[in-house]
Amino acid sequence: MSHRLPVALVGALASEVRDLCLMIEELAGALASDDYLALNYLEQFQTFDLLAQRTTETANLLERLAHGADAEESLAQVRLERMQHRLRDMLKAA
């Protein structure tokens, strides 16, 4: 079995990850509409924001790869520095 993912599967994964991001944002919005939660759990709401950012960057990366972009060039476009470094380290180790 090949270790390369079919392009269509990579594109489908990007779509799935985008759907996850929308679900995270909708959940965060619903919870933030509660004044008590919004005032008392601000730090936890920041985690929702980070989850949304990471899923968005993951979906963007998968889309670039699905369209045939070079892995290194695609990683260079990841806007979250820590995520970019983790993925680059993984790519170097592979």
Q: Specify if 78 maps to a domain.
A: yes
In the structure, how many helices (H) and strands (E) does the chain have?
5, 0
Q: Specify if 1 maps to a domain.
A: no
Tens-digit pLDDT profile for residues 32-81: 999 999 999 999 999 999 999 999 999 999 999 999 999 999 999 999 99
Non-local (6+) Cβ contacts of 41 within 8 A are: 31
Q: How many domains does the chain have?
A: 1
Length of the chain: 94
Residue 45 CA to residue 54 CA, distance in Å, equals 15
Q: How confident is the model at residue 94 (pLDDT cuts 50, 70, 90)?
A: confident
* Helix residue ranges, H only, 4-41: 7-32, 35-40
Domain that holds residue 63: 7-93
What pLDDT was estimated at residue 93? 93
